[in-house]
Every structure is written in C-alpha cells, then in structure tokens.
Amino acid sequence: MINKNSPIPIYYQLEEHIKELIEKGELLPGDALPPEREYAEKYKISRMTVRQAFTQLVNEGYLYRLQGKGTFVAERKIEQPLQGLTSFTEDMKTRGMIPGSQLIHFEIIPASKQVASQLSISEFAPVYEIKRIRLADGVPMAYETNYISANLIKGLTEQIVNQSLYAYIEGQLHLKIDSASQMIESSIANQNEAKLLKISKGAPVMLIQRNTYLKDGTPVELVKSVYRADRYKFMIQMKR
C-alpha cells in the first residue's frame, strides 16, 4: 500500500488509503483507528508521517480526535448544493434522513429596526421570533432563529413550526415562495450554541443568513442559522 519509491509523499499515500477504507465502509463512523505507533511499525514509516496524515484527515472532516482516547472516524458531512431553494425538511428527506425540530422559543415580539428593515415592515410591527434546533436522524445539525411578519403569515402555532414552515406557507396559506438570498461566513461556537448543538465551545461553525421572498418580491422570512461545520458542507457548481 505504501510505495516508498513513489514521488507521491508517504503521508498522502496513507491519507488516501484511510479515505478509501472509509468510503468503502470498511471503517465506519465512530470506529477507532489504530494508534500512530501501530501504523508506523506496520508500514515502517515515522510516527511524524502518520501524524501528518491523521491531521490532514481531521482537517478534512474524515476523522476526529478525543484527548486521551484516540482518533476516530467522523460522521459523514451532509452536502448541500447552493442551487435551488428548499427547506431543511425537504433537504433531509431527499437524503433519506428523518428531519426534526426542537422548539426552543416561540413568541410574537415588536420588530427591531434591523429586522423591520430586512422584512420591509415598520419598526415595532409584530413578528414571530422562532428559535429551533434542526435535527437529522435525531442529531443536531443547526440552530435557527426565524423572524416572520405576523401580519403577513397568520396563524402560526408551535405545532406548525415544529414541522415545515414552507409547507404551511405554501400548502395552507397558498403563498408562493419564489427566491432567496443567502450569506455564509465562518465562525466559532459560543457557549450557548455549543450546548444546543452538542459540540465543544470554540468548535467551527457556519453562520448563514437567508432572506426569503414571495413571488411578488415581498420578504417573507429572515433566518439566521448556526450550522455545525463538522456535519455540513456546501457545494456550488460553476460554468465558464
């Protein structure tokens, strides 16, 4: 497996071998890898080389480390194409995963100046403030805060927001969701986000703000989300 005469760096050969085992299902999420020492002895390479391969695989999201316990195979990331406008529930169902929500907060509040501007409504107009943990197969994936005009979207209840907002807006209110703009930036989890998402404080996360519009251009929703960077990645296709 390791060809020391190859121009390909040894750490990279080991890295690709471990990736292949993961992709073939021979190494499963949660499986512990042998210690660096065993790899070094088996392939007659330095532990520094093994450590370099492990570190790269951790950075790419294939592995994770637990201090004092070892190195383990990570859960595969959910790949989200940045094309087409779908809800979290729709995304998870297309992947054969069971979507879910844990409602943290549901209240009608006066719109702040910033929220009012984003929704094109008057400051202090009533808006729903909805905070949810979004789950896939029971695992926390994202922490969402939604702001929706209470004068535009009427009749929202805790039961409805625990399911799919888009399904209610389009199926029950017969309003057509047409487009959205989305901004993504990297960050690290604060103490509250880490607790809700069951990750370590300071773990990498993605901050996503989405502004969603009806067919006539009316803003229908402002969503601020914190996604786990260890379980989610975004993909975009481009043409020249």
Number of domains into which the chain is organized = 2
Containing structural domain, residue 29 = 10-73
Classify residue 2: in a domain, yes or no: no
- Is residue 38 within 8 A of residue 51, CB to CB? The reply is no
CATH classification at residue 49: 1.10.10.10
Classify residue 240: in a domain, yes or no: no
Q: Say whether both 116 and 191 belong to one domain.
A: yes
Neighbours of 193 (CB within 10 A): 18
Lookup result for tokens 């069971």: 98
Classify residue 3: in a domain, yes or no: no
Q: Which amino acid is at 80?
A: Q
Domain boundary among 29, 47, 73: 73
Domain boundary among 73, 96, 128: 73
Q: Say whether both 98 and 184 belong to one domain.
A: yes
Neighbours of 199 (CB within 10 A): 18
For the entire predicted model, the pTM comes to: 0.68
Q: What is the pLDDT along the chain (240 residues), one digit of tens a residue?
A: 778 888 888 999 899 999 888 888 888 888 999 999 998 998 899 999 999 999 888 877 788 888 888 899 887 766 665 666 666 777 777 767 788 889 999 999 999 999 999 999 999 999 999 999 988 888 888 899 999 999 999 999 998 888 778 889 999 999 999 998 888 898 999 999 999 998 888 888 989 899 999 999 999 999 999 988 887 777 777 677
